[in-house]
Structure 1
């Protein structure tokens, strides 16, 4: 693909609103995590999700080995947490409250979390799509963090017909 098409594709995808989650797993006692916006629910029967992880990421190697992971759905007030987990390095969990759920780290005070077992891994370009079978879920009544036009925000409901904002 030409550089021009890649740049235009990146710009086009910036126009798509996506959820912001932190995917977590563990390597022995050490928690690992990274911020992701390529995430979706996949199936209701059985409950499954899909998340894309960079082929070169440390987290993908941990998920491949551990075969369990969690999706931490960030709230609209957790943009700083998203930035913390987006950076490289081993210190991402410093100062972050988390608990163990089914052998994976779950971040406290998020909008919700989903624990999963790996069902399949399929490579797609420079990422691997991890298909997870849901093992447990918890939610809180918090607005979600979204990513659009290279900025964090949240969802606003559409006004009924005839109303203006």
Structure 2
């Protein structure tokens, strides 16, 4: 059953929609099969040691697999990967990878053509409302130097630098 949102929840959702966020697909493996889900709540956490954090819905199948395997991949999407972001935002397991080119890197699904790749071992799970924040130690990273896919005002886009003042 859907619970009605409070005025604070609605205002908070509106404020957050006006914050540009990067878009990534968090991945995991289960018996040799790839799984993944789109996220916009991830960021670097530490440089010494290198760490990231990612926030996943408690009901996420990918979170369940990460909890079991204690590792995850972070595929930072590029500006041409809006279709990939939408595909992985839907519910439903392994079928999300149908038609998506991917390889195995550090025993994790790595989406070909992503703007960046980060492989992590889980350091800690932190409960947070209806989500779980996963803290990951970075074991591998690669930048492909392409423009990032971003999400702002409920639409996809990319970042462009301002002209110098």
Indicate the TM-score class for this superposition, using the shorter chain for normalisation.
Answer: over 0.9
Say which of 145, 154, 157 aligns to 1:153.
157
Any idea what SS the aligned residue of 2:159 has? coil
TM-score, normalised relative to structure 2: 0.95
Instruction: Give the drift of 1:29.
Output: 1.0
Say which of 18, 25, 28 aligns to 1:25.
28
1:83 equivalent in structure 2? 86
Structure 1 gaps, min length 5: none
- Is 1:4 aligned to residue 7 of structure 2? yes
Structure 1 segments of 4 or more deviating over 2 A? none
Say which of 119, 130, 145 aligns to 2:134.
130
Verify the 8 A CA contact 1:68 1:103 in the aligned structure 2: no
1:110 equivalent in structure 2? 114
Aligned equivalents of 1:140 and 1:31: distance in 2? 22
Q: Deviations 1:79-107 (Å, cap 9, x if unpaired)? A: 01100000011210001111111111000
CA-based RMSD of the aligned residues comes to 1.1
Say which of 105, 120, 144 aligns to 2:124.
120
Verify the 8 A CA contact 1:20 1:82 in the aligned structure 2: yes
The alignment covers a number of residue pairs equal to 161
Verify the 8 A CA contact 1:72 1:113 in the aligned structure 2: yes
Aligned equivalents of 1:100 and 1:77: distance in 2? 22
TM-score, normalised relative to structure 1: 0.95
Aligned equivalents of 1:149 and 1:82: distance in 2? 16
- Is 1:51 aligned to residue 54 of structure 2? yes
Structure 2 gaps, min length 5: none
Instruction: Give the drift of 1:67.
Output: 0.7
